[in-house]
Structure 1
Amino acid sequence: GERGEGGEAARESDSSSVDFDVVRRRGESERGSSVPDTVRRAIAALPRELEGEEEVPDVWISREFSERDPVKERLVEQALKTSPLIDAARARVRAAAASVREARSSYLPTIGVSERYTTTDDPTAAFSSVLEQGRFTNATMANINSPSRVDDWATSLYLRALIFDFGRRAANIRAAKEMKRRMELMDAATARDVRYNVTAAYDDLLSARATVALWKKTVELIERHRDLVKAYYDAGVVLYSDLLSVEVKLAAVREELVSARNAVEVAYSRLAAAVGISKEALEIEEKALARPIYRGTEEEAVAAAREANPVIVSLGAAVEAARNKAAAAGKGNLPTISAEVRRDWHGADEKIGLDRRSVTAAVVVDVPFFDGWRTKARREAAEARVEEAAAVRRQALLDLELAARTAHNGVREALKRIEIADSSVEAARAALRIIEERYRSGMAKIVDLIEAERGLTEARVNAVRARAAAWKALAAVERVAGRKVVLGAGRKRGAFEVEGTRGGGYER
């Protein structure tokens, strides 16, 4: 049908720029023609619909500063109660406490009851058994060299105790206490790990949610552009290739939306795993990511990591435990003094009973002269483990110092990236306004407008991710150096202590 004056010329052009006044006049002039009513209405509505569009708001980007997120803190507190990692760490503490009680019990006697049955025709054993049962007669003497089989039932109540061992038990107790101390410190280290995991997953979730919202709005906006371009194409104003170009741009942002939605699901799963609950039990309200506050210095981070990181302090406890185990191993070939008291009951007439009673007490001094160098080998192995534990601790100090410096500079970098990302958002918004004006005046293509809109969305997404990265970097500092550094508390060396345990510093 007839498309109006200038229609074919527009078809043959390679530009999707549009003069809205011309389009509106054409729509009004074609109301009585054979152009379908839907196309006429779309053409007539194009300028008004486009002029009424609103750009995607910045509701997901907060320029406010914040120290703590109450929702995040509540999730951390819940994780410290429900995380399997915390349960495992506390189980290790209980096991270490039981080892201390076991070591202390070596000072207590062993008390027990035993029941013994013997049968023998050995002259010495048979004669002794007959005496214990009180059945000695002249006939016994007559057959003393070739007795018949003698049965004996004996019930014994005994008490055994080690009296003196040159400090071996004391060394074992000290070693057990140090291992318990280490497990308590590792419990605190696990709590830091759990806090970091929850924080990172929570910030990723907020970032992914905001990303979904931004790309969803952008998809809706480009879909409207696609509908407008299709109406232009139906009206003979633009080329089919222009419509396809818009479809390609729309497909690209839809891919971004699909990826963002998948990131939300992954972030939900990560957060649920970090907290130790099911994904369905999570209820996280939507909110904007603020800019974190960081008051720490690099020197504070390094000092806190060296003085009060629970991992390094626990390695100090491991060194002390190894030293005490080496001391105990070195006493393995020293004499020991022990005592035993036994009360025995024998049945008369070779039967079970308590007819005959006897009491035996003994003190035993055991002096080993040669044990095949087993004690020497145990001592050398224990001393090697002391050296190993000390070397591991020295390396951990170097690693923690590096981690503290890296984490501190990571926060500084992340905060700078927020400033850069916010500036990029403003630049992208200004560029979009310029393209919109050029598009409205017919000097820019629709794909240029779409690219500008996508550029603004990408800048906003980067701003959101920069904030999430800053919070995660802050959590990394807290993981290595503790909260006091993050809050700027404790300016002097030695002012830091291990968080989450009763004790403070440890032997450096």
Structure 2
Amino acid sequence: MVQAGEGRGGGSPKGSPAGGILVMTGETGGRAAVRRLPRRAALVALAALIGAGCARFPPGVAGVPGASPAPETPWTPPRNLAAESPLSAPNEPLPSDLLERARDWTLADLVDIALRTSSETRAAWQDARAAAAAHGSEESSRWPRIDLGADLRRERTDPSEGEAAETRTYGYSADLGYLLFDFGGRGASIEETRQALFAADWMHNQAIQDVAFDVERAYFGYVAAAALLEAELSTLEEARVNRDAAEERRSAGLATIADVLQAETAFSEARLAVDILQGSLLATRGALATAAGLPADTDFDVELPSEELPVDRVSESVEEYLDRARAERPELAAARARALEARARLGKVRAEGYPTLSLSGGAERTHYDDPDVYDDSYRAALLLRFPLFTGFAHRYDVYEARAEAEAALARLAGAERAVELDVWIGYNDFKTAERRVRTSEDLMRSATESHRVAQGRYKSGVGSVLDLLAAQSALENARAESVRARSDWFVSLARLAHATGGLRPAKPADGSAREGEEGP
């Protein structure tokens, strides 16, 4: 029982300070023993009771409510919350030679920039380093464990009768422990982390190839947009020439105003197409900058690929590409490593149900008040541990690990089918792109010749403006189709290389890591 305030009649129990809290501490000889707490403790207890009654929900944080007052009201963060955050995305500085060549970056330059700045590759790299550290930590279980200890003690004993006694001791000790045998559990744990490390390394390789492919796709999209703009500018110039020819024929009385208006309409349509393509070019350049890990408004330009396409470059059969993908695709290799990791985990869990044999030993020295007086003790033991009954937990752990191993094998089979589909689609897309390139070249030659003939006939007065505009439209379409066919050929080639795991950026000439990327 606790009673606050003064004792009855303003008095206090004998030997206790005035004021405070009376505490019933139990029975002593049939009577309750009363102890009075100091006044400061009484005030603290009273303040705690008042504070508990005045608590608010939700509690405040950094001067603002911890949550919004209603479901439809957004939460208002503290003003200096962003300034207080110490986290920031790491920035990899670009080499000065790349910055100086920002007007003619090659595809290899853009891939290099992307791999330096990509958050995906950096995160995958750090995951692999973490997995390597976890494997190294698990490997340490092969070694004995040695612990050193020290203690300093002071003990005081107050007996009910007699004088108080005080002792001081200090000492130091060394302990050794080593696992001798555990039915393969330790080896399975090490193998589990080893396969997890392989999976993380393969996924880092896959992240590098994914980033490279994204840059290549954005690069050829930008190149295609630039080529389409150039083709449309040629169409605009030809439309201007056709319009001038129509006006000259009308001035000579050989054409009507309808011919001039039709030619003027074709010129305006070509100019509108140029305006649209100029905006599209800026958009694709921003997309390329983003894929390379740069701000979208970065001012740069690229070196265009060669006009000659090695359309006969791919001569292998689809079966050869499928075999290559099964052997080299990093994503598939990671799935295999995860399946082996799950199998090793099953072995580890099974071993947990078997006995373990360990060696334990140690030595200790304890000093007393007199430094010359001490005790030495030594111990050594063989420890056999057998998990006789765990409430059936181990059986269910084995069931869980076995199911996870079967699930990993199923995911591996699904990954193999997905990779085969990627290769199949990529191969056939590339073969289609090859045929489109050849066909578009023939179409371009015939459309160019047709436009030349139609333009000559119109200027000589034997052709109609409709024939001229039809030939101009066919030439415009042929140019656009040629640009798209070339772009699709490059993209399909990159996609096929990505599907087979063949996108590998060049290593540094000296094979060394960049500054700041040393091993642990």
- TM-score bucket of the superposed structures, by smaller chain: 0.5 to 0.7
Q: Which of these residues, 352, 364, 368, is aligned with residue 387 of structure 2?
A: 368
Contact 2:218-2:288 at 8 Å conserved across structures: yes
2:305 and 2:448 map into 1 onto residues whose CA distance is: 22
1:223 and 1:313 map into 2 onto residues whose CA distance is: 59
Residue 362 of structure 2 corresponds to 341
Q: For residue 346 of structure 1, report the CA deviation from its aligned partner.
A: 5.6
Structure 1 gap ranges (5+): 1-69, 127-142, 485-499, 501-508
Q: Which of these residues, 268, 277, 289, is aligned with residue 251 of structure 1?
A: 268
Which stretch of structure 1 is more off in the superposition, 295-304 or 265-274?
A: 265-274
Kindly provide the amino acid, as one letter, of the partner of residue 432 in structure 1: H
Q: For residue 193 of structure 1, report the CA deviation from its aligned partner.
A: 2.0
Map 1:425-436 → 2, pairs under 5 A: 425-436=444-455
Q: For residue 155 of structure 1, report the CA deviation from its aligned partner.
A: 5.3
Q: Which of these residues, 138, 147, 160, is aligned with residue 103 of structure 1?
A: 138
- Residue 308 (str. 1) matches residue 324 (str. 2): no
Which stretch of structure 1 is more off in the superposition, 356-365 or 472-481?
A: 356-365
Map 1:22-421 → 2, pairs under 5 A: 71-108=106-143, 109-113=145-149, 115=151, 156-164=172-180, 165-226=182-243, 242-278=259-295, 280=298, 282-292=300-310, 293-336=313-356, 337-341=358-362, 343=364, 345=366, 348=369, 356=374, 358-363=376-381, 364-421=383-440
Contact 2:363-2:377 at 8 Å conserved across structures: yes
Q: Deviations over 1:274-328 (max 9, x none)?
A: 3334563744124554323222211211111223322222221111111111101
Q: For residue 390 of structure 1, report the CA deviation from its aligned partner.
A: 0.7
Kindly provide the amino acid, as one letter, of the partner of residue 352 in structure 2: G
Q: Deviations over 1:169-211 (max 9, x none)?
A: 2111111111111222222222322332232222222221111
Q: For residue 412 of structure 1, report the CA deviation from its aligned partner.
A: 0.9
Q: Give the secondary-structure state (helix, strand or coil) at the position aligned to 2:309.
A: strand
1:398 and 1:272 map into 2 onto residues whose CA distance is: 34
Kindly provide the amino acid, as one letter, of the partner of residue 332 in structure 2: I
Q: Deviations over 1:206-261 (max 9, x none)?
A: 22111111112222332454466567778998666655544433333233223322
Q: Give the secondary-structure state (helix, strand or coil) at the position aligned to 1:330.
A: helix
Q: Which of these residues, 470, 486, 497, is aligned with residue 467 of structure 1?
A: 486
Q: 1:421 to 1:120 in 2, by over 3 A?
A: farther
Kindly provide the amino acid, as one letter, of the partner of residue 291 in structure 1: L
Which stretch of structure 1 is more off in the superposition, 334-343 or 234-243?
A: 234-243
Which stretch of structure 1 is more off in the superposition, 462-471 or 106-115?
A: 106-115
Contact 2:330-2:501 at 8 Å conserved across structures: no
Kindly provide the amino acid, as one letter, of the partner of residue 297 in structure 1: S
Taking structure 1 as the reference length, the TM-score comes to: 0.67
Q: For residue 372 of structure 1, report the CA deviation from its aligned partner.
A: 2.1
1:243 and 1:117 map into 2 onto residues whose CA distance is: 109
2:431 and 2:291 map into 1 onto residues whose CA distance is: 26
Q: Give the secondary-structure state (helix, strand or coil) at the position aligned to 2:377.
A: strand
1:204 and 1:355 map into 2 onto residues whose CA distance is: 86
Q: Give the secondary-structure state (helix, strand or coil) at the position aligned to 1:348.
A: coil
Q: 1:254 to 1:374 in 2, by over 3 A?
A: farther
Taking structure 2 as the reference length, the TM-score comes to: 0.66
1:247 and 1:117 map into 2 onto residues whose CA distance is: 103
RMSD (CA atoms): 3.6
Which stretch of structure 1 is more off in the superposition, 279-288 or 103-112?
A: 279-288
Q: 1:151 to 1:417 in 2, by over 3 A?
A: farther
1:466 and 1:160 map into 2 onto residues whose CA distance is: 72
Identical amino acids, percent of aligned pairs: 23
Which stretch of structure 1 is more off in the superposition, 170-179 or 353-362?
A: 353-362
Q: 1:243 to 1:341 in 2, by over 3 A?
A: farther
| Structure with a larger share of its residues in helix | 1
Q: 1:347 to 1:219 in 2, by over 3 A?
A: farther
1:431 and 1:313 map into 2 onto residues whose CA distance is: 54
1:171 and 1:327 map into 2 onto residues whose CA distance is: 6
1:449 and 1:145 map into 2 onto residues whose CA distance is: 126
Q: Deviations over 1:397-456 (max 9, x none)?
A: 222222222211111111001111111112211321232133224354445424422321
Q: For residue 152 of structure 1, report the CA deviation from its aligned partner.
A: 6.4
Contact 2:328-2:502 at 8 Å conserved across structures: no
Kindly provide the amino acid, as one letter, of the partner of residue 123 in structure 2: A
